[in-house]
A and B are shown apart, each in its own frame.
Chain A
Amino acid sequence: QSVLTQPPSVSGAPGQRVTLSCTGSSSNIGATYDVHWYQKLPGTAPKLLIYGNTNRPSGVPDRFSGSKSGTSASLAITGLQAEDEADYYCQSYDSSLSGWVFGGGTKLTVL
């Protein structure tokens, strides 16, 4: 059981906007630790999508955006494309565990 909770699955049609949530607690996201997001395709290494809650590395399309409020964070994807079908993970730091933690991951399906 992950300390960061993500919905197991989300789906959307091409061109639509979807939002993936990541819910934590006062020992991680609520403790003002940054949230980061990764995209993972089967058989490939995770790819950094968003760092420091809202920042995109160079090369990541601006269709991807991140936000954080209280004990939760969200990843929004606009103009959904077939190539966005992947698993998405949030990551932060947890002071109770004294370590870095991932959410359980959300599988995004493009209908």
Chain B
Amino acid sequence: EVQLLESGGGLVQPGGSLRLSCAVSGFTFGTYAMTWVRQAPGKGLEWVSGISGSGGSTYYADSVKGRFTISRDNSKNTLYLQMNSLRAEDTAVYYCARYRGLYSRGWFMDYWGQGTLVTVSS
């Protein structure tokens, strides 16, 4: 059974940092690209960042580029999102998800974690 479990969310002050983790099981982690998607309170889904199976390619939304860093440790079956210079508008539930598809531009998310809440406030 495929499982994704996020952790690391919490309350942080503006300008602060936080690292999210996503522990996965039930599939060969290193053969799948992965992604982070967030949902701010009362808002829709927003794609945040993605990473290839090997970790050699990374992708970022303009809203987080230069502040967030996605990475993975295939030996630990874990995906990460390092979030720096956090802003109030980064407040959201952050979901990790598995990418699937034949080519990157056709990727979709077939399995999702339950999410972890990040609140940026003083």
Contacts and interface: CB of A to CB of B under 8 A. Distances in A.
A36 B108 contact: yes
Nearest to B100: A51
Contacts of B62: 97, 99
Contacts of A93: 104-107
Interface residues of B, number: 26
Interface string A58-73: 0000000000000000
A interface, size bucket: 20 to 34
A24 interface: no
Nearest to B47: A100
Contacts of B56: none
B61 A99 contact: yes
Contact of A104 (B44, B60, B106): B44
Contacts of A89: 44-45
Interface of A: 2, 33-34, 36, 38, 40, 44-48, 51-52, 57, 87, 89, 91, 93, 95, 97-105
19 contacts: A36-B108, A45-B113, A45-B114, A45-B115, A46-B45, A46-B109, A47-B112, A51-B100, A52-B101, A52-B108, A57-B110, A87-B44, A93-B104, A93-B105, A100-B107, A102-B37, A103-B44, A104-B44, A105-B44
